[in-house]
Structure 1
Amino acid sequence: MSTWQALDERFVWHPYTQHGIAPRATPIVRGEGAYLVDADGNRLLDAISSWWVNLHGHAHPEIADAIAQQARSLEQVIFAGFTHEPAARLAAELVEVLPDGLERIFFSDDGSTAVEVAIKIAIQSWRNRGERRTLIAALDNAYHGDTFGAMSASAPSVFTEAFGDHLFQVARLPDPIEGDPLDALDRLIETRGGELAAVIVEPLLLAAGGMRMYGEDVLRGIRERTRAAGIPLIADEVATGFGRTGPMFACDRAGVAPDLVCMSKGVTGGFLPLGVTAATAELFETFRSPDRALTFFHGHSFTGNPLACAAARTSLRLLLDPACAKARVAIEAAHEDGLARVASHPMVTRPRLLGTIAAFDLEAGEGYLAPVGRELAAFARGEGVLLRPLGNVVYLIPPYCVTPDEIGGVYGVIERFLETR
């Protein structure tokens, strides 16, 4: 064990890790395209884009160069009362690719804080107009982040149960896979519409809740109902944005334009933390006033960080290259072939695909704590592949530089694991 690995074991507290039983963290020393390289020189195909953040490959030279160039001129400045070119240009470029009507960009730090911003904007916008509305509606099995507002909007789970007494109450709509959220939303608007500040959804994909994919008609129905009732719709596109579901945003697949969109993960191509909340001009105008008390009093030390904005601008340019769209189509086709290969195994259920995201369930326990996920992850690591199942839910979300043959190899690893069961 190297000195720095010993320091990690002695001093570092890793996320989502039970240090009482977890094996030593795998030491990674560099990234190369779709691969991570460990301290012994072993290459791991990053089939989950390092928690879904990496779009174009590790250590992509163009993004790295953009960060280095920006660092030589301006690395950080307070964003209250000051501005800089990377943030201004990124805001304009995001508005250009976002669904219609989203014209104002608020920067924060990550996906969870982007959700916090959206919820706070929705609630305060009603207050600024002289109306008290504080109720948020969200889907069952949703996950929106680990800060308190985002946890409140998330479904109760092992992630949130320790903090249940400190979370605000949310109106739950059925998971579209299990029930009818549209009928429930109709009844909620009829009975409590005057309390409802916003509806928040992960469009088309309940990601950390189990890669649960639902139909575009449901998303359109939610949008139609919220628009008719004058209730803001928040789309949490942290996991689904920037091409993951095929088009730029999952909302684009359904032809839906929300009032607020939350972004993070892939926004910088996986290089630096950045949260983004996009809002309509109508919502923004409820805060513009000569009365300072109507200000949106929210901010982060690194809001609009120039280095992150420079990375995001370069990542977005790469994403808009037609070659990237072609690569995503090839990934989807490779997933179709791979899912067909594993679907015949008796343990595999509910194979599903949404753009570059593939998933299936294993009938070997259920839920996030099911041990089969850790067993598959350990097996795959020994075969040179990084997987991190959500308990018994196996998913692949590779970076766009991956080849169809490499994806096929990942499914081969999964097949070999299934042969051991």
Structure 2
Amino acid sequence: MTSNFVKELTPQLIEWRRTLHALPELGFMEYITTYRIGKELEEMGFTIHVGKDALEKNSRLGLPNEAAITAHEEKAAEWGVEEPWLEKMRGGNTGLVATWDTAKQGDHVGFRFDIDALPINEATEETHLPSKNGFVSGEANVMHACAHDGHATIGLGVAKFISSNSDNLKGRFTLLFQPAEEGGRGARAMTDKGWLDDVDYFYSGHIGIHSMPVGTIAATTKGFLASIKFDVTFKGVSSHAGMHPELGKNALLAATTAANNLYGIPRHYDGVTRVNVGRLTAGSGRNIIPEDSYMEIEVRGETQDIGDYMAEKAKRIIKAAADMHDVSCTIEPVGVTEVLVCDEELIPKIQEWCESSEFVKEVLPSVPVSGSEDASLMMNRVQEHGGKATYMLFGTKLDYPHHHPQFDYEEDVLSVAVDTFVSIIKGGSSDV
């Protein structure tokens, strides 16, 4: 029985999760994470496509700087990532795709699992489970604060079921372990590689988002926003603030003018809008006119048109702020997500397939969400080619929100999510 399989696998799921949690890596620098996942999948018998074989490298967005990439590659080599693996990932080409063909006619089913962490210092209080149990992040200012360690673990659990039960399954399976979900940077690179072009059914999802009991899942979600991210650099002229302020061109003032006015973009009557200035750095000393400033911003919209509206308004304000203070500016797009619409006809199927699960206690038809998800690009590609797709939620109690230093989740949710996807596989792809 499926439930027995998941019960026996549960200790391994917890071990995988804690191992990944203790050594988190930021987007496009998941060298060790990719290697660890890949070695497990290789042992299961999957065909592995790593790094440059999994991504369209020119479609990546928001790459880390060269120095950071090089330093992390050196660290990965010292840690033990084998050179052939590292060679395929060099230059920030992380992530992998695992494929399995049962050689029996059937649907092509795709799954996406994100693997990157966040630039957050993890809490070390004893009340924080990873700290209490010895698997707190060992990396300064890097933390799995959005459950991607759990998502990667779920992917490994799904893979284990496919490899162990291939004789009773039909069709093909494609598992995408995606880098750089945070900031909407990685999905386009995998999508443009063509992995989703002939997928019949596509499933992705998230642990948490809403605090729900373990065992409660959502078959679909509604409300993810289209999002566009920008890095903005202002370039002015430095001068002595006391002796010759008139010779300076203040890049800091340009940035703050832009930041203040971005929040004044008129909201759109057709739907929800968002804008945020998440980072602003400028200047070098109190008596120096700031020559440079740097700003990270994002805009979001309930529809693609509203997202585009917000982006165009933001760019106009940034350029006007630069002109006002007689400085130059560059605006670099570094991330994008799209609006996603789940196929509602999957709801009764998922409810039916999960009826006999010992782990799934309730299947909600849909749950409202906010924020953005770059799995939207994958879902939209599948749907454009005639396939069906959904984005699910897996309930857990949340004492702290996502992206918080004390974020954590109940590890029982790992078994629930694996059993959900296994039930879906059996329901839609079983040959018995």
TM-score range, shorter chain: under 0.3
Could you say which structure has the higher helix fraction?
1
Answer 1 or 2: which has greater strand percent.
2
TM-score by length of 1: 0.27
